[in-house]
Amino acid sequence: MKNLVDSTTKFAPVDMWAKIPMGVTFRGDATSIAVDSEDNVYVFNRGNYPIAVFDKDGDFIRGFGHGDFVRPHGIEIDLDDNIYLVDDDGHFIQKRNNDGEILFTLGEKGKPCRWQSGGMFNRPTDIAIHPISRDLFISDGYGNSRIHKFDSDGKHILSWGSPGTEPGEFSLPHNITILGNDKVAVCDRENFRVQIFSLDGEYIKQIHIHHPMSITEGKKGDDRIYVGEMLPPPVQQGVPNLGAKISILNPDGQLIQQIGDSLPGEGLNQFTSPHGISTDSEGSIYVAEVAWTAYFSRPENSGLNNPPLGEVISLRKWIRTS
């Protein structure tokens, strides 16, 4: 299999990939996803085991973190398989080793900075780790319009961003990733764009894309950019080709291809809310969806899930077939 994804690369969805055991629930919201060095898949979710770990075949390995989080939102794994967890309503970020032991915490649980003040933190959303320096980049998020950079020990280096629509400004920085070794990409969700910056926060360019809510660069050998697109607002529900897709871009930000149906839903080829995205060493794509919060909790969609308060599909895998 060739390394780089291009327009001829094909992907196929895996039906019911995750074998979620009885007694484990995501409560409809798998918020984010990350893959370790062994291609094990870590799902940060709002259920009874906030960190759920699966192997690449979808077999459940373990779960932990019960009672430790307020509102799980973002997850990332570094090259040593340490786990970084972003708690939205808890206003904190944790680094844990692979056994789940807390190594350090940024922010104080339940104590946000002043809303839209640019401080640390008010409803942070995601984290990215530089592959060489191990510097941390945190998008902060629902109650702020800011990117914070820390060193690998959690010492603050710099911050950038403010509310607005101009270059370098944000309307909900929702997800973040490192591109190569020298750029940072931010899903500026409500501005319908991905902004690209230097590692020091200097604006480089922007890419227009429908409602981007999750982003990642492929694993080593795959320098394409994978973006999960959010649903349109309720007033445009039922209009085809507006979000609920995965867009695959080349390193210059040009669209190569999209996967997913033209309309959202629980079908094998559909998405509802690609809230978190990651890839593995084989080129497979994993997507975590806040399916309950973003889609099935809407009154107009509640009848699509039977029973309305039951488990809904919130975890997807697409394998690379060529």
Per-residue model confidence as pLDDT tens digits over 56-83: 999 999 999 999 999 999 999 999 999 9
Question: Does pLDDT of 310 surpass 70?
Answer: no
> Is 215 a member of any domain?
yes
> Is 3 a member of any domain?
no
| 318, β-bridge pairs | 13, 285
Whole-prediction pTM: 0.95
Q: Regarding predicted confidence, which is higher, 107 or 235?
A: 107
> Is 139 a member of any domain?
yes
Contact in structure between 230 and 276 (CB atoms under 8 Å): no
Measured CA to CA, the distance from residue 116 to residue 129 in angstroms comes to 24
> Is 61 a member of any domain?
yes
| 198, β-bridge pairs | 183
Could you tell me which of 215, 243, 216 has the C-alpha nearest to residue 231?
Answer: 243
Which residues have CB under 8 Å from 124's CB, separation 6+? 73, 74, 86, 87, 88, 91, 92, 93, 107, 138, 139, 140, 141, 144
Confidence class for position 302, pLDDT limits 50, 70, 90: low
> Is 4 a member of any domain?
no
Contact in structure between 39 and 280 (CB atoms under 8 Å): yes
pLDDT of residue 221: 84
> Is 6 a member of any domain?
no
Q: Give the total residue count for the chain.
A: 322
Range of the domain at 290: 11-320
> Is 232 a member of any domain?
yes
Number of domains forming the structure of the chain: 1
> Is 5 a member of any domain?
no
How do residues 149-184 score in pLDDT, each as one tens digit?
Answer: 999 999 999 999 999 999 999 999 999 999 999 999
CATH number at residue 146: 2.120.10.30
pLDDT of residue 267: 93
Could you tell me which of 85, 143, 83 has the C-alpha nearest to residue 117?
Answer: 143
Mean pLDDT of 14-21: 94
Question: Does pLDDT of 1 surpass 90?
Answer: no
Confidence class for position 308, pLDDT limits 50, 70, 90: very low
How do residues 18-47 score in pLDDT, each as one tens digit?
Answer: 999 999 999 889 999 999 999 999 999 999
pLDDT of residue 14: 97
Strands 203-208 and 212-217: unpaired
Measured CA to CA, the distance from residue 224 to residue 273 in angstroms comes to 21
* b/e code 149-163 from CB counts within 10 Å (16+ = b): bbeeeeeeeebbbee
Strands 225-229 and 245-249: antiparallel
| 92, β-bridge pairs | 87
Confidence class for position 303, pLDDT limits 50, 70, 90: low
